[in-house]
Structure 1
Amino acid sequence: MTAQSGGTIPAQPGPRDAGDAAAVAAPEPAPQSGIVSAGGDMSGVSVPAESDADAVILGAGPDVRPGERATLRLREAGPDDPPRYAPEWLELREGADAAARAHELLDPLRIRLANLPGRSGVVIHDLGCGTGSMGRWLAPHLDGAQHWVLHDRDPYLLHFAAVASPRSGADGSRVTVETRRGDVGRLTPDALAGASLVTASALLDVLTREEIDTLAAACAGAGCPALLTLSVAGRVELTPSDPLDAEIAEAFNAHQRRSGLLGPDAITAAAEAFAEHGATVQVHPSPWRLGPGESALTAQWLRGWVGAAVEQRPELRERADRYLQERLAACQAGELRVVVHHSDLLALVRPTGGVS
Structure 2
Amino acid sequence: MGFSADWLALREPADHAARDDALLEAAARVAGARPVVVDLGCGTGSTRRAFGARLGGAVWRMVDGDAALLRLAGGEAHRLDLNDVDALPLDGATLVTASALFDLASAPWVDRLVDRLTRLNLPLYAALNYDGRMDWTPELPEDGQITAAFNRHQVGDKGFGPALGPGATQYLAERLQAAGYAVREGDSPWQLGPDRAALQDELLAGIAQAAQEAGFAGDASAWRAARQAWVGQGLCRIGHRDLLAVPQTVSERRG
* Fold similarity call, TM over 0.5: yes
**In 2, are the aligned partners of 1:224 and 1:351 still within 8 Å (CA)?**
no
**In 2, are the aligned partners of 1:279 and 1:349 still within 8 Å (CA)?**
yes
For 1:189 and 1:272, locate their aligned partners in 2 and report how far apart those are by CA, in whole Å. 24
Amino acid at match of 1:130: G
* Post-superposition CA distance 1:159-201 (Å, at most 9, x none): 0112xxxxxxxxxxxxxx2000112223239731100100011
Aligned-pair distance for 1:142?
2.7
Amino acid at match of 1:94: E
Which of 1 and 2 has greater Rg?
Answer: 1
For 1:95 and 1:106, locate their aligned partners in 2 and report how far apart those are by CA, in whole Å. 16
CA-based RMSD: 1.8
1:199 match:
97
Amino acid at match of 1:160: L
For 2:88 and 2:13, locate their aligned partners in 1 and report how far apart those are by CA, in whole Å. 34
Runs of 4+ deviating beyond 4 Å: none
**In 1, are the aligned partners of 2:145 and 2:216 still within 8 Å (CA)?**
no
The TM-score, its normalising length taken from structure 2, stands at 0.92
Are 2:109 and 1:214 equivalent residues in the alignment?
A: no
Higher relative contact order (CA 8 A, sep 6+): 2
Are 2:41 and 1:134 equivalent residues in the alignment?
A: no
Q: Residue 130 of structure 2 aligns to a residue in which SS?
A: strand
For 2:25 and 2:41, locate their aligned partners in 1 and report how far apart those are by CA, in whole Å. 24
- State which of 77, 88, 99 in structure 1 corresponds to 2:6: 88
The TM-score, its normalising length taken from structure 1, stands at 0.67
**In 1, are the aligned partners of 2:61 and 2:89 still within 8 Å (CA)?**
no
Q: In structure 2, do the counterparts of structure 1 residues 190 and 350 end up closer, same or farther at CA, with 3 Å as the change threshold?
A: farther
2:123 match:
225
Q: Residue 315 of structure 1 aligns to a residue in which SS?
A: coil
Q: Residue 217 of structure 2 aligns to a residue in which SS?
A: helix
Q: After TM superposition, list the pairs within 5 Å mapping 1:294-333 onto structure 2.
A: 294-313=196-215, 315-316=217-218, 318=219, 320-331=220-231
Aligned-pair distance for 1:110?
3.7
For 2:208 and 2:167, locate their aligned partners in 1 and report how far apart those are by CA, in whole Å. 20
For 2:116 and 2:174, locate their aligned partners in 1 and report how far apart those are by CA, in whole Å. 15
Q: In structure 2, do the counterparts of structure 1 residues 196 and 154 end up closer, same or farther at CA, with 3 Å as the change threshold?
A: same
Are 2:29 and 1:122 equivalent residues in the alignment?
A: no
Q: Percent identity?
A: 36
2:169 match:
267
For 1:184 and 1:138, locate their aligned partners in 2 and report how far apart those are by CA, in whole Å. 22
Amino acid at match of 2:200: T
Q: In structure 2, do the counterparts of structure 1 residues 90 and 213 end up closer, same or farther at CA, with 3 Å as the change threshold?
A: same
